[in-house]
Chain A
Amino acid sequence: MKINFYKIKGIVQSSFIHLLLMTVAFSCLFPLFWMVRSALMSQETIFVDKSLIPSQLNLHNFYLAWTQGNFGVYCLNSLIYTTSVVAGIVVISSLAAYSFSRLQFPGKNLFFFMFLAAMMIPLPGSFVPLFVLMNKLGLVNTRIGYILCMINVGLSLSIFLLKTFFDKMPSDLEDAARIDGCSKLGIWRHVALPLARPAIAVIVIFNSLNVWNEYILATLLLNDQSLMPLQRGLMVFQGVHSVDYPLLMAGLTITALPIILVYLFMQKHIIKGLSSGALVG
């Protein structure tokens, strides 16, 4: 009898827990489903038909958004920005982190502390002087201006993560390479970088998400439609088509889909990186 009581109590408890978890999971997924569903409808049916899976589905909105809505251009721009910023961050931060961890030069600790402080101190509204600076340099409305700004955004954290990784990594292989006559740059390129692959993967993933989703600097620095990334383009698009919800939802789907796919493919690394990063900090 007693065993049965505990068994029942356990089943009730765990079904209650699953009910809670399922409800929350549903609330996470449903808005995304609703976005895709609305994108597949037409301007005539969207206000009338509220069924979960409408009878008439069409992909025409995606075509319209991609061509007339300029999303083809926005998407290409987002790809350009994301790849070049991430590549820049990986090269620059790994060079710096390697030097901070392994090499000696006067003022090393001071410089590292500077990057650390930049990571800790929140600087809201730094976009005001940044915009002034870009104006002075004539880099407003240029790709390179936006790319440089975004490299700076991700730099401090990436240097910090890579330095802690290098600090924990044994230096035997690097010593061996040095004895064999490899230059410092060669050791960085052929020994340290390949060994740091797990840490670099984390940096690539998180900076990619960050650049792809960035909005405010893109708004301030890029006014030319041919230079805008997706997030910025989406807001412009929303301003023009604020009542054409099916078309707007198609634009949203185009913006969100790449991120969702990358996330689903990389979720193991993302969640692991996030967990370990949080416990370090």
Chain B
Amino acid sequence: MASVKSKSFSPLRFKDSFENFVFVLPALIIFSLFYIYPFYEIFRLSLHEWNGISLSQRFVGLENFKELVQDKVWWSSLGHAGYITVIALTFQNALAFALALACDRDIRLQKFYRVVFYLPPVLSEVVVGLIWQWILYAGLQNGQHIGLLNYFLDKVGLGSLIHHWLSDPQTALTCIAVVHSWKGFGWGFIILLAGLQTIDRQLYEAAKVDGAGSFHILKNVTIPMMIPVILVVVILTILGSMQVFVLVLSMVGQGLVYHTEVPVTRILASMMGTHRFGYACAQAIVFGAILVGISFLQIRWSKKLKQA
């Protein structure tokens, strides 16, 4: 007789396992169809030349990747995304951290600030992009500036700063980066504030008793305690900013040919513009690998930091 512990096949047990598996089945079907299959397909297509319509896909090996290495527009688009990311990492995160520090105390209106700061992040990029495009609009009507920013600069006597913000390649990318930061800082603020509020108040008291000034407390108590949270914010900021593109589309559209291209708009252009699906997949793979590499480096770097 089979003992209770034996792993021998029993119809009852099989039926039980199968029933439990059925719970996962709908999720698994959708996941396989819309995630795993595209994952495989993106690698397969990257080795082919295909226009997306014709029945024949020509196998070209690594040709797409070789071409990509020499694609100047592609690498400059990565540079643009890197520029936006650097501004988001410094300007946006510094602002978020400063505001979180300011709110991490018994301060009046704290709830109000929290609600207001998280308002831009809940709006869509299309809406944000179009509002700011209207504010930054450059042009004159009857000698008056149409866009609010230029109008304001004119009225307060800073007329020399008036600029074609979004049609000048020199400033367009910076404007996009600033608007991206405007949309994103509230998110960093909420997470950093939540992190700050988990720090034990007694640590601050102890530091104060020992005679530490507020700058020393910040440097030697707050920041070391916040490293894990800061790291999450930094990684997610990088991943989010590198993949920005809806803002680019809604703020400048196709207006500035190559000056505001970012990787995702390049992938879209290869796919819908020149109908080179294989090349688009190769771009997507290289870009994905770069993103995975960055987050991997970050995690390793943080482990070293923790050990030190």
> Which A residues are within 8 Å of any B CB, using their own CB?
14, 17-18, 20-21, 24-25, 27-29, 31-32, 34-35, 38, 47-48, 50, 91-93, 95-96, 98-100, 103-106, 111, 114-115, 118, 121-126, 128-133, 135, 148-149, 151-152, 155-156, 159, 184, 188, 209, 212-213, 215-216, 220, 231, 234-235, 238, 245, 248-249, 252, 255-256, 259-260, 263-264, 267, 270-271, 274-276, 278-279, 281
Contact = CB atoms under 8 A, between A and B. Distances in A.
B243 A133 contact: no
- Majority secondary structure, B binding face: helix
Contacts of A106: 17
A21 B99 contact: yes
22 contacts: A24-B99, A29-B119, A34-B134, A34-B135, A34-B148, A47-B142, A48-B144, A95-B27, A99-B24, A103-B20, A123-B288, A132-B52, A151-B30, A215-B126, A231-B126, A234-B130, A238-B130, A255-B124, A255-B127, A259-B124, A263-B118, A278-B195
A25 B102 CA distance: 13
A181 to B, nearest CB: 16
B50 to A, nearest CB: 9
B249 A209 contact: no
Nearest to A153: B34
Interface in B52-104: 52, 95, 98-99, 102-103
Contact of B102 (A20, A96, A215, A238): A20
Contact of A25 (B16, B113, B271): B113
Nearest to B142: A48
B191 A274 contact: yes
Contacts of B168: none
A20 B52 contact: no
Contacts of B194: 274-276, 278-279
A212 B122 CA distance: 10
B27 A93 contact: yes
Contacts of B21: 99, 105
B279 to A, nearest CB: 10
Contacts of B245: 216
B165 interface: no
A169 to B, nearest CB: 17
A175 B238 CA distance: 45
Contacts of A121: 288, 292
B116 A29 contact: yes
Contact of B119 (A32, A124, A184, A212): A32
Interface string B20-59: 1101101110110111111101100100000010000000
Interface string B171-207: 0000000000010001100110111001000000000
Contacts of A264: 115
A214 B281 CA distance: 22
B116 A25 contact: yes
B114 interface: yes
A100 B27 CA distance: 12
Nearest to B98: A20
A160 B25 CA distance: 16
Given A152-B34, A216-B246, A260-B122, 7 more contacts: A21-B102, A25-B117, A125-B264, A231-B127, A248-B130, A259-B122, A271-B114
Nearest to B40: A129
Given A152-B31, A184-B20, A128 B122 contact: no
